[in-house]
Amino acid sequence: RSAMPGFMGRKLCPSLVFVRPNFKKYTAVSKEVKEILNDYDPNFQAMSLDEASLDVTNYINDHRDSLLEFLREQKENKAMKEYRIPDDEADAEAISVNSNNATSASTLSSTTTKNDQIQCKFSSTPDETCLENGKLGTIVAEEIRRRIKEKTRLTASAGVACTRTLAKISSDLNKPDGLFHLPTDRVLVEHFLANLNVRKLPGIGKVMEKMLNDLDINKCKDVLGDGAPLVLEC
């Protein structure tokens, strides 16, 4: 798996061959990717060489007509998963799944509903503009992924949601070379978070996960309900 320590890899596969890194090449390719991202959000946030977060709301507003036309003509996107709640209220699952064996080389997360012109606040009734922006955000994300592959021959996984944090989480849910969309719908977002393992939250690693599990906190719903102050003493 990605980021596995070398000694663990060697233990699992004694014949493992290590390839010397080439950070000069990594940096050059990363620059090419960032040039593409800049076309959609000049203020994008680069998390690392191969990860970035974009707010594409302004881009959507400027290209709404052409994006809507493309959306109407688009056939089913088999590389995308979209979050939904099953009719039987069982654990949430995704639809339109088509995983492949490509190697995911970079991650991008796209927020689509926050700027000075459009403030999409959660309410009991989903805002139609926000829902539309989310769908158009998937079109933008697919275009970015296509351009990255054409330019660098590398694949990219993407997440589209209403906040940067949710988009980052979503970008990790359909790898490799896939897209995950979390619609801007309060019910869907709350259900998504309630069933989300705490390890999926940015900043929570293996050690913190174990500490939370020892407190019977396994999913986000374990703290969304009967929450209480928590003090950790070192």
| Active-site residue set | 51
123 vs 196: CA distance, rounded Å = 21
Residue 57 pairs in a beta bridge with none
For residue 164, the one-letter residue type is R
For residue 151, the one-letter residue type is K
89 sits in which H/E element: none
DSSP 131: H
61 vs 140: CA distance, rounded Å = 12
Which is it for strands 51-55 and 80-84: parallel, antiparallel or unpaired?
unpaired
Is there a contact between 181 and 133 (Cβ–Cβ < 8 Å)?
A: no
Is there a contact between 53 and 168 (Cβ–Cβ < 8 Å)?
A: yes
Kindly give, in sequence order, each residue whose CB lies less than 8 Å from that of residue 71, ignoring residues fewer than 6 positions away.
135, 136, 139
